[in-house]
Chains A and B, each alone.
Chain A
């Protein structure tokens, strides 16, 4: 690279970046005759690293390399500068990508263009997950640092079979994406299929794993989540040991686990840290919560509009008295309350925690009580919507919570239009839709439809650990989880 070509390159970078003020250029002399330019993006590098390990190294050896010429300057720089991540690049696109990835580029007047990793620490530290709270078990969670996230998994699985495949995704974002899997457990065809699917994604930018979820999902119509996103490294490690594949993207704490089955959303990481009998009970409660979440308002609306005859006389009179004087039909009443709850929930999510508690009091107590006293809604409807909404929040996955909300409204409308007949028809359609979902050729309703009796040891009920000898054949050919000599 001649001097004029170096200038040309610098000018090209300046033009392409529109003279971006955070891109710094500094020209210095390595020897009296050899000139070099260091280029870095000030907003993402650590200036301390540049000063300490690049500038200082070069300046301190200024007089010691009399024999340095244009041919060995690259070797000299590689040996002199204290840095473990040095990339020799001749490709302009790669150069730009490295520049914006926190590398400092040194261009000499020779044919050398060396990139030294000088990334600044822009990441938060490892902290407790705010969206997936656990009472028992590890508290740490992923953060936005790609390597930290991989480290958190490697810390849990110290096995050479934990393989990592990387690719860059996004034309502009050029985000680094890693596919993690256990080589001796996971189905390699599944890994390849995921890899190939990811490779075909041609998108300008991928900011979060949510961007690629829909590319991986085969069924766009379903509202139910088909890929589990989590912040919990212990959950990810557990999934890897089951033969699942994990996708990690830089700059996001949400890691994808796939394939995900419907029943996985009823499981929590701490299910495996507690006694099996208690966990089974908790899971049964989650299943009941699921049905209450989608069916309770619909059943109530159907009961008081079409089928009050099935109510016991005392309850019937109680309902009749409570609903007396409410000016709206039950469906309007339910939708109003439901909308209010969703607005309160949304506001509560977006407001600072200091204001959040005040908002909850205003929303839950003042609004609810005032609405009942004003005769806009009946007290029973408040109870029903509250039970239904609280039941919906029993799930950690926000996708699942949102999906329940969608189906709850559909069921309410069906209940209002056709009573229990409408609810049952919609329920049949709902189950058919769930049965119809496949992700990477794996049935979503596994292990219920098709029914795998032996796999039900860890579905709704959880058998004690010593009884869970085998992994599912659906995900792995290496099914032995507990070696035979230890089997009970």
Chain B
């Protein structure tokens, strides 16, 4: 009995029982939007209130949007808490939208979400460079495809994930890069076209920043290259012109390796890209591809890809934003060199790019004998 009392006492005084909150007494936050306006955080949350409809088959939840303001994030959330009778519950958070003015306060935001153990780290993060997060949450999404006819922001956004060029980022992945001094952060940009009623959400662009003070935006094609080099994109649609013929290809990125090296004292980054492509469309379907012609198209395609990669990397170097983690790759191989040259390393890097393409499907294009072309690796 004495032992039992001691165990009970230990459990109670160590606070093991102070997290009691019944599941039906929770305000389940699905989406949280953070803006910083007039030296105050404006936090907008989308709360799911489970409701039991009279019809048994129609079990559902009500969506309530609540906003609160405060000097700190926790005070803003306390303000929201005072407006709802239930306890705020962030453990099943699905979406964080960082508003256009609050990106400079990313340290505070990241710290809050990292330190609060009642928040999971598996939600998606998006940045809005045009509108406030508040506006994005209050937007009517009910007409969005596959959003189950509800107005839940997360559902609307998840339905946009299926688009081939959408950029997505989980908070845990963001944190990994955010906490690494040798990789710069990138956050997908969420934008809404108010003129469209359907499929108004686009997630094509990428927000990049070396320090969250200077900020840059990568456009759709650039974002594709960055995602592909970061092994986050397995396939994409690519268009290029050769001999005035426009080819549209579907690329599958088989292997992308980025290896750091030194030639003499010069730091080099070797980028090897193996792509399997299939020609989806050619503006001139009557074209007859001889073996030499196929090789020429391949070489032209390789050069085109190499050129685009080179351009994107040049842009990143110009912005001094190492979102591809070149410094980190050097650090893994040559830590002492990076520690002494971390400021200048990225800008002084020499880049060697080698792209190898294998075209498997030539669509309806024919060879010189008028027979459809089939190639196997």
Partner-B contacts on A (CB < 8 A) = 303-306, 308-309, 313, 316-326, 329-330, 375, 417-419, 421-422, 425, 429
Taking CB atoms, residues of chain A closer than 8 Å to B118 are 309
Contact status A304-B23, CB under 8 Å: yes
Decide: A321 and B16 in contact? CB cutoff 8 A.
no
The reply to whether the CB of B248 lies closer than 8 angstroms to some CB of chain A is no
Instruction: Verify if B78 is at the interface (C-beta below 8 Å from A).
Output: no
Q: How far is the CB of B109 from chain A (nearest CB, A)?
A: 20
Contact B24 A320 (CB under 8 A): yes
CB within 8 Å for A305 and B92 given contacts A317-B50, A321-B60: no
Give the chain B neighbours of A418 by CB distance below 8 A.
11, 16-17
B7 close to A425 (CB less than 8 A)? yes
Q: Please, how many angstroms separate the alpha-carbon atoms of A169 and B97 in the complex?
A: 81
Q: Determine whether the beta carbon of A321 is less than 8 Å from that of B11.
A: no
Residue of A nearest to B154 (CB): A313
Residue B202 is within 8 A (CB to CB) of chain A in the complex:
no
- Given A305-B22, A329-B22, CB of A321 within 8 Å of CB of B92: no
How many chain B residues touch A (CB < 8 A): the figure is: 25
Which A residues lie within 8 Å of B52 (CB)? Answer: 321-322, 324-325, 375
**Interfacial chain A residues near B24, Cβ < 8 Å:** 320, 323-326
19 A-B residue pairs with Cβ-Cβ distance under 8 Å, sorted by A, are A306-B19, A309-B92, A309-B118, A309-B120, A313-B94, A317-B48, A317-B50, A317-B61, A318-B59, A320-B23, A321-B60, A324-B52, A326-B24, A417-B11, A419-B19, A421-B16, A422-B17, A425-B7, A429-B7
Residues of chain A within 8 A (CB-CB) of B9 are none
What is the predominant secondary structure among interface residues of chain B facing chain A? mixed
Contact: A317 with B22, CB < 8 Å? no
Contacts from B to A (Cβ < 8 Å) = 7, 11, 16-17, 19-24, 26, 28, 48, 50-52, 59-61, 89, 91-92, 94, 118, 120
Is B120 a contact partner of A321 (Cβ separation < 8 A)? no
Closest Cβ of chain B to A310, distance in Å, is: 9
The binding surface of chain A is classed by DSSP as helix
Question: Which 10 interchain pairs have the tightest Cβ spacing?
Answer: A309-B91, A304-B23, A320-B50, A321-B50, A323-B24, A324-B50, A321-B59, A324-B24, A418-B16, A421-B16
- Complex Cα gap A325–B24 (Å): 8
The number of inter-chain residue pairs (CB within 8 angstroms) is: 76
Closest beta carbon of chain B to A426's beta carbon, Å: 9
- Residues of chain B within 8 A of A326, CB atoms compared: 24
Once A325-B52, A418-B11 are accepted as A-B contacts, the answer to whether A308 and B26 lie under 8 Å apart by CB is: yes
Chain A CB count within 10 A is highest, among B24, B59, B61, B89, for: B24
Residue contact A320 to B28, C-beta cutoff 8 Å: yes
Please, which residues of chain B bring their CB within 8 A of the CB of A305?
A: 20-23
Residues of chain A within 8 A (CB-CB) of B28 are: 316-317, 320
Distance of A3 Cα from B222 Cα, bound (Å) = 128
Chain A residue nearest to B51 (CB atoms) is: A324
A135 to B170, CA, bound (A): 55
**Is the beta-carbon distance between A319 and B7 smaller than 8 angstroms?**
no
Q: A308-B26, A320-B23, A417-B17 are in contact. List 18 more A-B contacts (CB 8 A).
A: A304-B22, A304-B23, A305-B20, A305-B21, A308-B89, A309-B92, A316-B28, A317-B92, A318-B59, A320-B61, A321-B52, A322-B52, A323-B22, A324-B24, A324-B50, A375-B52, A422-B17, A429-B7
Chain A residues with CB below 8 A from B20, complex form: 305-306
CA distance A429 to B3 in the complex (A): 11
CB distance from A324 to the nearest CB of B (A): 4
Interface centre among A324, A326, A329, A417 (most CB of B within 10 A): A324
**A304 to chain B: closest residue by CB:** B23
Complex: A375 Cα to B52 Cα, angstroms: 10
**How far is it, in angstroms, between the C-alpha of A209 and the C-alpha of B20 when the chains are bound?**
47
- Chain B residues, CB < 8 A from A329: 22
- Chain A residues within 8 Å of B19, by CB: 306, 419
Among residues of B, the one whose C-beta sits closest to the C-beta of A379 is B56
CB < 8 Å neighbour of A330 from B11, B22, B60 = B22
Given contacts A317-B28, A321-B60, A329-B22, contact A421 B11 (CB under 8 A): yes
Residues of chain B contacted by A319 (CB below 8 angstroms)? 23
- A328 nearest in chain B by CB position: B22
Q: Compute how far the CA of A425 lies from the CA of B3 in the bound complex, rounded to whole angstroms.
A: 12
Considering residues A305, A320, A324, which has the most beta carbons from chain B within 10 angstroms of its beta carbon? Answer: A320
Report Cα–Cα, A308/B50, bound state, in Å: 14
Contacts of B48 in A (CB 8 A): 317, 320
Specify which of B23, B24, B51, B89 lies most central, judged by the most chain A CB atoms within 10 Å of its CB.
Answer: B23
Please give the distance in Å from A232's CB to the nearest CB on chain B: 38
What's the Cα separation between A380 and B239 when bound, in Å? 54
**Could you tell me the distance between the alpha carbons of A409 and B6 in the complex, rounded to whole angstroms?**
21
Name the distance in Å between A428's Cβ and chain B's nearest Cβ.
Answer: 10
Please measure, in the bound complex, the distance between the C-alpha atom of A316 and the C-alpha atom of B91, giving whole angstroms: 10
How far apart are B54's CB and chain A's nearest CB, in angstroms?
10
Q: State whether B23 touches A323 (Cβ < 8 A).
A: yes
Residues of B close to A322: CB separation below 8 A? 52, 59
Contacts of A330 in B (CB 8 A): 22
CA distance A325 to B52 in the complex (A): 7
Cα distance A321–B49 in the bound complex, in angstroms: 8
Contacting residues, chain A, for B89 (C-beta < 8 A): 308
CB distance from A330 to the nearest CB of B (A): 7
CA distance A72 to B24 in the complex (A): 93
Task: Give the chain A neighbours of B92 by CB distance below 8 A.
Answer: 308-309, 313, 316-317
Chain B residues with CB under 8 A of A304: 22-23
Complex alpha-carbon distance, A316 and B61, angstroms: 12
* Most B C-beta atoms less than 10 A away, residue of A303, A308, A318: A308
Report the bound CA distance from A124 to B118 in whole Å: 66
Minimum CB–CB distance for B39 against chain A, Å? 33
| Assembly CA distance A418 to B16 (angstroms) | 6
Among residues of B, the one whose C-beta sits closest to the C-beta of A307 is B19
Q: Roughly how many angstroms separate A322 CA and B52 CA in the complex, as a whole number?
A: 7
Give Cα distance in the complex from A323 to B22, angstroms: 9
In contact, B21 and A422 (Cβ under 8 angstroms)? no
